[in-house]
Amino acid sequence: MDEPTLIAEARQGDREAFNELIVHYQSLAYNVAYRVLGSQDAAADATQDAFLSAYRAIGRFRGGSFRAWLTRIVTNACYDQLRAKQRQPTAPLDSDPDQESEEWVMDPGERPEEQVERQELGRVIQCGLATLPADQRTIVVLSDIQGMSYDEVAHVTALALGTVKSRLNRGRRKLRDYLMRNQELLPARYRLHDETAGIGGLGNLLLECSVNRCAIRLLGRGVGYYG
């Protein structure tokens, strides 16, 4: 994909060029929305709203990272959804693991048991994300699931770098504490079977979650887009 050319054409009103950009980024956009909102319907609505807003605003795009620019529009659409849900307290956004019916993206390189494990891990982490305040949840999603740098997250969220780091650290700690309290829900190899054994499978997961983030970054390709 020749992204600079497509952006230039889209800025001139070429709808096909814009659509090609959207096809490329739709999985990322939906994943961000789903992980922030915890609801397939709300994520689909936020993603569609974001794409419409992006189409209206593409003429004002002035360069830089298109991914960051689009992700900022998606996160703003998510915040709109959250504000709407706050006005309707009888319809919470929190994920219910018993009701969840995610359509997971298949990885041809994964064995079936690996995919099942990734699904189980994803559901537990999604429930943990739902316990975080929205500002912390968004930053954890952008940094640890989508793999954005601190600078990119700061650009997407329009926050100071220090604020991003502070909220990310608090969000990681809360997610770690949730996983510790609910380790029986994790895939077997991530559980601490012997509490006296020190750092085990769960400890390794938490280390990845709080230091190099490899485990939950896999979830960035976890769910399919419902357009």
Q: What is the pLDDT of residues 39-77, one digit of tens each?
A: 899 999 999 999 999 999 999 998 899 999 999 999 999
Which range in 87-96, 160-169, 198-207 is most confidently predicted, on average pLDDT? 160-169
State residue 24's pLDDT score.
95
Whether the predicted pLDDT of 32 surpasses 50: yes
80-105 b/e with 16+ CB inside 10 Å = b? ebbeebeeeeeeebebeeeebeeeee
Q: Which residue has the tokens 């230091």?
A: 211
Q: What is the pLDDT of residues 106-115, one digit of tens each?
A: 455 667 777 7
State residue 212's pLDDT score.
36
136 exposed, middle or buried (CB, 10 Å; 0-12, 13-18, 19+)? buried
Q: What is the pLDDT of residues 157-199, one digit of tens each?
A: 999 999 999 999 999 989 888 888 888 887 777 666 544 444 4
Q: Which residue has the tokens 């490899």?
A: 214
pTM value is 0.76
Least confident of 61-70, 120-129, 136-145: 120-129
pLDDT mean across residues, the chain: 79
Structural domains present in the chain: 3-221 (1.10.1740.10)
